[in-house]
Structure 1
Amino acid sequence: MMQTGPGCAEALCDRGLFRAASALQILGGLGEVFAEGLTGIIGAAEAPSEVDASAGDGAFGGTECVSHVEVFISHTWSSARWPKYLSMCYFLNVTLAVKAAWGSYALGVGVLLILEATVSLWAPSDQAEANVKAHLCDRKYLFLFFTELPVLVFFVFFFFGQHISASCWAPSLWLDKLCVHQTNQSLKAQQVAALPVFVARSARMLVLWDDTYFERLWCNMEMATFAKYAASPEKMEFLPLWLAPWLLSSILLDLLGVTFVCSFQKLNTFQNEAQVQDLAHMGAAFFGGSPHVRQFIHMFFEVFPNFLCYLPVALPTMLSFKRKIQGHRLMLEQMASFDLKKAKCSVEADRPLVEEQVALHFQAEKDFEVIVAGATDPAPERVEAVDPREEAIERFNNYVQGPLRAACLDSIGDEQNVPLHLCYVCFLPMSFYAAVNATPYAYRECTLTFDTMGYSSPYHLVATFSLCWLSTQLLVFPVTFPVLLRMLQLVESLTSSWVLQLVLGFLGSALAYAYTFFCAGTIWGCTVVIMQSYSPTWLVIFFFVFALLVLQAWFFFGKRPKRSCSCRCLEPVGGDDTKPMLGLRCYPEGD
């Protein structure tokens, strides 16, 4: 077994074997590096003899010599180019894209405020000033500046964020296609032999998971090596190849739904003011004509009917989520039933070598004292023992089935959950659109002004709608996806008919959106009542509704307490590069 300490890594760097690739190399040419597989299979196979040994110098020369890397990319070459490219865009750019999108929104607010101030100073007449301000307040322009433009910025930075930022914040990366010479067989053989060193000297491992990943013996060896030297299983990040396409499609579908909301509000199809007023008066009549009830019902019906605008996207959303459930479930099932012996190897001669490497990583150096309750004789002293190879491999199987799977669940949840931060990203278009109501000029000099809406000043209006916006965007809209996923799982359990699943799934998707806008209308109504005309009773109602929304968000997104644990294997718990430590680690059963 090759030594993996810092000195060994430095020696490999001096010999030009330990390399790191940049984010631009991996994302360049729209992920061109993923377009073709390796020229020869890592392991015993060689590249075809007719391949020039210097043919791979260009890509290999673009990397730099290092003694450690921040991210080791583990993947299979059986998956297609585009899912990998999108996954790497997600890994490297999604945070930058979200920040850039919100930055463009803030910039748009600043630009329009400057334009409004300029008009106030330089307009030739009051009428001209009013006309210009009316155009600035037109929803058509607000939607363009505050919804479509930020979403466009998000997509630009999602794909080209590293190019725009010149990879200033990108980690160093190890990718086999770039960091292992593909045509120089002598150099390649040395690098393949040093693969455990490269893995051990990586701060994190990024697993680009597809449905064949756990079937690849060399991928499993990479996992075992990293597990030995990693401080915790959380350092191994699983990024399913379905995640990035699902995220992008969800954002586009939400943008389409928001576009319908904007169009219907402009046409006043669903929110005719007179009809809303009639509904408010009729509802208030049941409560003795209370003005507070009338205010609540009026605001509720300003918001709730908007779920109808999402009906056109209910079907594609349902289909997208069904694929998400299938891919997510398959990954967790593969981890739960993982068995190294079932992994495939393109070159069968590699199997004993790889299995021996895994066994060395997971061998137990000592058997520790075991105290049995009620025993009269003292337990024996520590006894040195060497586990056989099969037991070490079984220990690795247990590691994947237990701690690694638990870490994966903590990171991306199970098939009926979506992490909260991803829900926020998916609803960016709605966040941008709803935030227009909280801008200081949204109603100035427009058809509806702050005083006609019942507010004492523009700042009173902005404060009210800002509170409404924060409540809905942080607590309400994110629950749409967990509700929808549970609906789809319920449909799957009720019928196996594809047609019925399609029909019921569409209805479940529509119901999920209706429930979301019901919650949104409720919190908007309560907030407007207490902000426009304070009432102790309605303040209690507001806090009650708010508490229910917080509990709901915790139910869907809060971390659950750990289940009862069993100690089934020794898990690597850190240590230095030359002497990693194995510790007895407990993890949940039955996940």
Structure 2
Amino acid sequence: MGSSPSCSTCSQDTSQAAAEVVQASKQTLPEASEVFGPVTSFQSSVEKDSPTLSRLDKFSRLESLAHLEVDEEVLRGIPLHHTLQVGLGQWSSPKEMSQRKQEALYEKSSPTLHFDIFFSHTWLTTGNRKYVALLFHNGWPVMVTSWILATTVLSILCLTDALPMPFSYQASVLDYRQTCPLGCWVIALTLPVACAALVLSPYCPNKLGKHSICFVDMFSIHQTDSMLRERGIYGIGGCLQRSKELRVLWSPPYFSRLWCIFELAAYRFANPQGKITMAPLFVESVVLTLLVGILAVSAGVWVGAALRSMEEYTVLHILLTSIFSSVPLLGIIHVLRKETRAKRQLLLDLESFSLDRAECLSDFDREFIHSAIDKWYGSAEAFAKYVRGPLRAELLQSNAATVPSAYLMTCVISIESIQVELFLALVKGGAPLKCILAVLVGLMIGPVFYQLSCFKLMLKLAEKFAEPCNAILDLLQTFLIWLTTWFLLVICGSATVTLLSRPNVLPLLLLVLFECLVFLAAFGHLPLRRVCLRSSDRA
């Protein structure tokens, strides 16, 4: 929602469209009943005679406790991808926009009776960060697809001599020893293409016909007409009652805003079985930071591959190349540790939630929200117990605060740019088919899951040691995480290159065993645990 007329800092965080339709039960609140007893059915209060909804002002709503009454005349929604098409600035506070722009955003929405998703967010968090998070969340499949297409096209152009391959690479695969032409187009151009595809993803045809109608405050509430603005703000409960999903774009200030808490309370009461999704903004920030680091490291590896063919290539060149390749990752890990501290803040906010700590500049808004929570949950403390208990478990059960493996796979795929360059070098150099297949399996297909495990393990270590002990140990913690990650990647990469040059069955088996151990360390026993739980459920 936007802010109330007298509470300009109280608002909400946004999130993303849900594909599934959730039938909201209007009877009781099973989980909440364990904390504060049975909850009165909302349906009965709607059926009571009440004033015409379009004339129900904020004072009448407060007096009659009609917080969840639906004012259908002001219900307006917008497809999510439309909010991402214009670019940065649309998720910002109205204070950062001109009156003309606010009116233009409102005109982009259209009347509706229901919402697929209600976005909850706070204007205390910069709008650009929300935009980037939502853009990546929705557009990463398009980004990966464009990378694959660009890689394919550039590979064909290189193999057909439409693009020159001016550098050289000293190949050593099986019994093949030859200097091969090396290109740079795949590693240089796939990133710009993928980024452009990400920005353009809201315009992709596959979005057509798949609109999820969303409530987004800047689009759904008129920000310049005082009457419509008041009806939209204080009718927010009715919008929540008509929403299939509440998506929370969480940032550290979220639980300090009273209106954000009102949205959680109102949605769960009006939709006991409705879907609440926690989508922390730091997740996408972590992935994009990691992606930048991986691309920098890949560029360093390519430089090393090109320098190995120089006659004057010395140990100094090797040292400089190694530093160039690994230093970006060192900085990225330090940033990752800082970003993952937000996860601990999220857990702390839920564990120690208290309604009294929520801020609001308007006494009327505070009375408006507290009266609703007292009616729905019995008391502020009962609601706080519900948030700290059942709601916390619900919000965290989907591992919302964890970087998804699909995101990590996006990062791993970006590493393949350097492997594709080496593969093309062998093909252009006339290497035998068995050597080409060995590189295809040993360097391009085989290491994918191992690299995924390494980055997963790096994120776990960054999260485990996110909090700094002091200024000096803070840097030491980052260095040790970097050293562990660097060692795992280098030892596997070196072993793979050595085995491609001089195949041996026993070292190959040891390498596979080592990679399996790293996978177990990264992903733990969760897959096995899920299998055991399913088996016990069937029994």
Shared fold by TM > 0.5? yes
After TM superposition, the score normalised by the length of structure 2 is 0.71
1:421 is the counterpart of 2:406: yes
Provide the rounded CA distance (Å) in 2 between the counterparts of 1:252 and 1:407.
30
CA–CA distance in 1 between the matches of 2:309 and 2:466? Answer: 33
8 A contact 1:20–1:174 mirrored in 2: yes
Q: Is the aligned partner of 1:22 residue 2:79?
A: yes
Is 1:97 the counterpart of 2:138? The answer is: no
Q: Does 1:173 align with 2:214?
A: yes
Matches within 5 A, 1:135-534: 138-139=181-182, 141=183, 143-144=184-185, 146-163=186-203, 165=205, 167-168=207-208, 171-228=212-269, 235-268=275-308, 308-361=323-376, 363=377, 388-390=378-380, 392-399=382-389, 402-407=392-397, 410-413=399-402, 418-437=403-422, 439=423, 441-446=424-429, 449-450=430-431, 457-458=432-433, 461-483=436-458, 485-486=460-461, 489-490=464-465, 496-522=469-495
Give me the whole-angstrom Cα distance separating, in 1, the residues matched to 2:404 and 2:321: 25
Q: Percent identity?
A: 16
> CA contact under 8 A between 2:130 and 2:281: conserved in structure 1?
yes
Cα distance per residue 1:63-109 (max 9 Å; x no partner): 11222222221111112232122122223322322222222223333
Match of 1:443, SS state, is helix
CA 1:348–1:318: 2 relative to 1, 3 Å? same
SS across alignment from 1:21: strand
* Gap runs ≥5 in structure 2: 1-41, 55-68, 165-179, 534-539
Instruction: Tell me which amino acid in the other structure corresponds to 2:461.
Output: R
2:387 corresponds to which letter in structure 1?
Answer: N
Partner AA of 1:256 in structure 2: A
- Structure 2 counterpart of 1:482, one-letter code: L
Pair 1:479–1:110, CA change in 2 (3 A): same
Q: Map Cα deviations across residues 280-331 of structure 1 (whole Å, 9 max, x no partner).
A: xxxxxxxxxxxxxxxxxxxxxx9x9986543221431132112113222212
- 3-state DSSP of counterpart to 2:397: helix
In structure 1, give the amino acid aligned to 2:454.
V
Q: Which amino acid aligns with 1:443?
A: L
The answer to whether the Cα contact below 8 Å between 1:101 and 1:151 also exists between their aligned partners in 2 is yes
SS of structure 1 residue aligned to 2:427: coil
Q: Say which is worse superposed, 222-231 or 507-516, in terms of deviation.
A: 222-231
**Do the aligned partners of residues 15 and 515 (structure 1) sit closer, same or farther apart at CA in structure 2, a change above 3 Å counting?**
closer
Q: Which runs of 5+ in 1 are unaligned?
A: 41-50, 120-136, 276-301, 364-387, 451-456, 565-591
Pair 1:60–1:105, CA change in 2 (3 A): same
Distance between the aligned counterparts of 1:118 and 1:32, measured in 2? 39
Distance 1:317 1:163, change over 3 A: same
Q: How far is the alpha carbon of 1:245 from its aligned partner?
A: 3.6
Q: Distance in 2 between matches of 1:58 and 1:209?
A: 27
The answer to whether the Cα contact below 8 Å between 1:97 and 1:154 also exists between their aligned partners in 2 is: yes
| One-letter identity of the residue aligned with 1:423 | L
Query: Quick one: distance in 1 between partners of 2:276 and 2:144?
Result: 24
Q: Deviations over 1:466-506 (max 9, x none)?
A: 2542232222344235336526745957xx33033224423
Whole-angstrom CA distance in 2 between matches of 1:197 and 1:561: 39
> Which whole-Å CA distance do the structure 2 matches of 1:551 and 1:525 have between them?
25
Q: What's the offset of the Cα at 1:116?
A: 6.0
8 Å contact from structure 2 (residues 85, 200) kept in 1: no
**Partner amino acid for 1:163?**
Y
Shift of 1:431: 2.5
Partners in 2 of 1:359 and 1:110 — Cα distance? 67
Aligned length: 455
The alpha-carbon distance between structure 1 residues 557 and 232, as it changes in their structure 2 partners (threshold 3 A), is: farther
Q: 1:551 is matched with which residue?
A: 520
* 1:208-250 superposed Cα distances (whole Å, 9 cap, x missing partner): 22211001111112122333466768x4333333333433232
Task: Name the counterpart of 1:64.
Answer: 110
- The aligned amino acid for 1:37 is P
Whether the 8 Å contact between 1:56 and 1:184 is mirrored in structure 2 is no
Is the 2:82–2:202 Cα contact (8 Å) retained in structure 1?
A: no
Alignment partners' CA distance in 1, 2:256 and 2:244: 24
SS at match of 1:183: coil
- Whether the aligned pair in 2 keeps the contact of 1:526 and 1:542 (CA below 8 Å) is no
Q: Which of 65, 73, 83 matches 2:119?
A: 73
Distance 2:309 2:188 in 1: 22
In structure 2, do the counterparts of structure 1 residues 148 and 335 end up closer, same or farther at CA, with 3 Å as the change threshold? Answer: farther
Structure 2 distance, partners of 1:525, 1:424, is 26
Q: Which moved more, 1:481-490 or 1:503-512?
A: 481-490
Residues 414-456 of structure 1 show CA distances to partners (whole Å, capped at 9, x for unaligned) of xxxx43222222334312222444x5x441342xx53xxxxxx
User: For structure 1, which segment, 420-429 or 253-262, has the greater mean C-alpha deviation from structure 2 after superposition?
Assistant: 420-429
Deviation at 1:33, TM superposition (A): 2.3
Distance 1:226 1:271 in 2: 69
TM-score of the superposition, structure 1-length normalised? 0.65
Q: Give 1:259 deviation, angstroms.
A: 0.9
Provide the rounded CA distance (Å) in 2 between the counterparts of 1:314 and 1:13. 52
Between the aligned partners of 2:194 and 2:134, the Cα distance in structure 1 is: 16
| Offset, 1:175 | 0.7
CA contact (8 A) 2:301 2:418 kept: no
Aligned residue for 1:431, secondary structure, equals helix
Please say which structure displays the higher CA radius of gyration.
Answer: 1
**Measured at CA, do residues 554 and 240 of structure 1 come closer, stay the same or move farther in structure 2, by a change above 3 Å?**
closer
Q: Which moved more, 1:474-483 or 1:87-96?
A: 474-483
Q: 1:103 to 1:204 in 2, by over 3 A?
A: farther
